Amino acid sequence: MKAPNTVTIARLGSHKTVIMAASELKKYLNLMDPLALVDVRIYDKFDASIPNLLWVGIDDELDKNLKPVEDKSLDDAICIEVTDFCGFITGANERAVLIAVYRFLKELGVRWLCPGKIGEVIPEKILDKCQIHINEVPSMRHRTICIEGAIGYEHTYDLIDWMTKMGMNGYLFQFFVPDFFFRRWYLHERNNEVMEPIPFTREDGLCIHKKLIEDVTDRSLIHHAVGHGWTAEPFGLDASGWDYVDDDTVPGDIREMLAMTNGKRQLFGGAPSNTQACYSNPKAIEKIAKSVADHCESHPDIDYIHVWLADMRNNFCECENCRDIRPTDLYIKMLNRVDEELTSRNIDTKIVMISYNDVSWAPQFEKLNNPDRFSLMFAPITRRFDSSYADVDLDNLPEEEWPFELNRLVMPRENTPVVRLMKGWDNFKVYDRSVFDYHFWSTTFISDIGGFKIADVMSRDIKTYKKLGLDGLISCQVQRCSFPTNVPMQVMADTLWNENVSFDTVVDDYLRDAFGKEYKTVRNYLETLSKLTAYWVKNEEPDVIVNDELREKNEKGIEIIKEHREVFAKILEDSDFENDVQKMFWKILIKHLDLAEVTLKLQVRKFSGESPEERLDATDAVANAYREAEPELHRFIDVWRQLLTLGFATPIEDAH
């Protein structure tokens, strides 16, 4: 009888993320070859003279093999030199070591086709021969996902776990405690009668947030935090979300620090997080600066503290000390004071400043005193996703920027003026730059049924980042967007790692793994439906639309769905799938036929010129189909977000 194969993992040191890396490597190798003997030993230092070891971790000698990077704490260079399960796996930092281990396992055939164990494919493999030699630096520094949508702990954990396996490196928790997002899921908001609400309190949100921070820091992911809430929490106002409070409860000493609009200092729409402060008021600036420093001091695990302003536009202060100064200049002055306060306390947390809404325009006069502390993040929330930044002619941008008029702004939606605003910051001295974008928030299943349009835009956007002076993406997105496939998120992760990767290669490799030999049939089906879906949910669109071209496309989409029903059913019944994950994805695709058909029928009614009232039965049919599917599909699609989209698209009281 042949002796069992032996793999000896030599773990370097006791950093928790390297411990995780070695543990994950051992776990998956054992699952691939249950008869193998996989051992873990601990060493303080790399020693090339010891034979037959697979070294995992960081060491000065191994470091010499890495490609040079600007900042080892942020830039995730990896190096894998393994022959027959001997050699080394290392990285520029502990997070990169874990990423490198997952990359090694991927080269051995392990796949994570969607978040959660349900998407995990582990091949049977004898651990004897392998030749894996990889030495890479990711194209983009910032490969980050931001919390959004309606989510439970498990959904969020699964995404954090998946994104690390895909080589992404950062996670952003919005607000001081993001219980707002958990509440949506556990209480099943937006009237989803199919799912029973689960009691949920602020304390529950604190506990979940604390555990998720552990999940992030265990992986040494870059921890981004807060963003929204600095116009509320420092003033003792509710900063837990976008909730409304009674304006009459605001104390007088706080009211004097709120922005004056239309001659009054009051909450904007009743929501503290949407209300600007009076940024010429020294008391307001001091409160914000000390609050930021206090938070960083009590949360040393935060790597990037996001200091954003109010989450609504056209409500900057109009008092005599503010109204003649561009909002961005006031913002920069405030950020300089925040930096001073952090410096005085010896806190080195980086600050993310945001170019967003009223502060999308570069400052006219102010500069940062300590630009190395800052990261500049563009957030083009009004952009459309039916085209890419790659479609913008950078050599022929408009000479004039999009017009700025205090509290009378109409933000651009097309990408050319959006990019022109970004380029207005070219001479502003902050060199760490990213974009906070909304591909998987603004674009829902309703507006891209196949998922291919947004995947294509994502790919082409990322390939344009370097030309725009951007070093990555913070993706503001629902955490559950793998329906009917994870193609869009796979494209995001792979292209952020390697901007030169072929879109077709990513898509075909993924679909082959997820669907087996019939993957080309799946691609043709989904890609065709994406082309036939209208980008139809727009804030400024009229209630009644007659568009024969779009109606005919939707009708064609319904025919495509009918043609594929029998084809897909036969494949599901007759195919000998390679694994259970492939069978799962084919079952999901069958469910996709139903949801896609009812959605396209609504679009046909819409573009036939029916009013929201006339097509209410079709809207209800779509909403109810999503609700009924949620127990089965909750890991793959955020039904709360789909219902929110329907609500925006059906502005009548009876819509539900």
- 250 and 113 in a common domain: no
Single residue among 136, 162, 184 that ends a domain in this structure? 136
Residue 267 has pLDDT above 60, yes or no: yes
Segment 338-367, tens digit of pLDDT: 999 999 999 999 999 999 999 999 999 999
In a domain, 639, yes or no: yes
654 is a domain residue: no
CATH no. for residue 17? 3.30.379.10
Residue 2: its pLDDT value, please? Answer: 52
Query: Which pLDDT belongs to residue 257?
Result: 97
Q: Quote the CA–CA distance of 596 and 599 in Å, as a whole number.
A: 5
Please give the Cα distance from 543 to 487 (Å, whole number).
Answer: 33
Determine the pLDDT at residue 655: 41
Give the integer Cα–Cα distance in Å for 319 and 255. Answer: 13
> Is the predicted pLDDT of residue 649 greater than 80, yes or no?
no
Q: Is the pLDDT of residue 51 over 50?
A: yes
73 backbone dihedrals φ, ψ, rounded to 5°: -75, -20
Do residue 532 and residue 560 come from a single domain?
A: yes
Establish if 127 belongs to a structural domain: yes
Q: Is residue 350 part of a domain?
A: yes
Residues 588/484, Cβ–Cβ less than 8 Å: yes
In this structure, the strands spanning 433-437 and 374-378 are: parallel
Is 66 in the same domain as 159? no
Pick from 514, 547, 562: which residue ends a domain? 514
- Residue 652: pLDDT over 60: no
pLDDT range class, residue 192, cuts 50, 70, 90 = confident
Shared domain for 492 and 607, answered yes or no, is: no
Residues 334 and 344 occupy one common structural domain: yes
**653: confidence class by pLDDT, cuts 50, 70, 90:** very low
Indicate whether 604 belongs to any domain.
yes
Structural domains counted in the chain:
3
The residue segments making up the domain with residue 628 are: 515-649
Stretch 334-338: mean pLDDT: 98
The label of the residue with tokens 């603004």 reads: 442
Q: Cα separations (Å) of 341 from 39, 282, 293, 294, 332?
A: 49, 14, 6, 10, 14
Q: CA 135 to CA 643: how far, in whole Å? A: 45
What is the pLDDT of the chain when averaged over all its residues? 95
CATH of residue 207: 3.20.20.80
Which tokens go with 336? 């300089």
Question: What is the pLDDT, as a whole number, of residue 536?
Answer: 53
Rounded to a whole number of angstroms, the CA Rg of the chain reads 26
> Which residue, 557, 549, 515, 514, is CA-closest to 533?
557
% pLDDT > 70, the chain? 97
Given this model, what pLDDT does residue 243 score? 82
Do residues 422 and 280 share a domain?
A: yes
Same domain flag for 554 and 421: no
In angstroms, rounded to a whole number, what is the distance separating the alpha carbons of residues 279 and 275? 12
Residues contacting residue 13 through CB under 8 Å, at least 6 positions apart? 42, 44, 57, 58
Asked if the structure places residue 389 within a domain, the reply is yes
Rounded to whole angstroms, how far apart are CA atoms 280 and 325?
9
The least confident of 188-192, 202-206, 393-397, 635-639 is 188-192
- Dihedral sign of CA atoms 309, 315, 321, 327 in order: positive
Is residue 309 one of the residues assigned to a domain?
yes
Give the model's confidence band at 162: pLDDT under 50 very low, under 70 low, under 90 confident, else very high: very high
Band of residue 600 on the pLDDT scale cut at 50, 70, 90: very high
Question: What average pLDDT does the segment 280-298 reach?
Answer: 98
The contacts of residue 210 (CB under 8 Å, 6+ apart) are none
Considering only 148-157, 460-469, 568-577, 627-636, which range has the smallest mean pLDDT?
568-577
Q: What is the mean pLDDT of residues 152-181?
A: 97
pLDDT for the residue numbered 574: 83
- C-alpha distances in angstroms, 98 versus 17, 450, 491, 636? 7, 33, 21, 26
Query: 572 and 429 share a domain?
Result: no
In sequence order, what are the residues at sequence separation of 6 or more whose Cβ sits closer than 8 angstroms to the Cβ of residue 91?
58, 66, 76, 77, 78, 79, 97, 98, 99, 100
**Model confidence at 519: pLDDT above 90:** yes
Share of the chain above pLDDT 90, in %: 91
pLDDT single digits (tens) 438-454? 999 999 998 899 999 99
Would you state the pLDDT for residue 647? 81
pLDDT at 323 over 70: yes
Q: How far apart are CA 273 and CA 267, in angstroms?
A: 9
- Among 514, 535, 552, where does a domain finish? 514
* Pair (474, 520) in one structural domain: no
DSSP 481-498: B-SS-SHHHHHHHHHHH-
Whole-prediction pTM? 0.97
Are 451 and 562 in the same domain? no
**Sheet containing strand 37-43, strands side by side:** 37-43, 6-12, 54-56, 86-91, 78-83, 131-136
Report if residue 547 sits inside a domain.
Answer: yes
- Check pLDDT > 70 for residue 26: yes
Q: Are residues 399 and 423 in the same domain?
A: yes
Nearest to 283 by CA among 256, 312, 317: 256
Confidence category of residue 543, pLDDT binned at 50, 70, 90: confident
Check pLDDT > 80 for residue 313: yes
Average pLDDT over residues 74-96: 98
pLDDT of residue 240: 81
Together in a domain, 488 and 500: yes
Segment 111-137 shows an average pLDDT of: 97
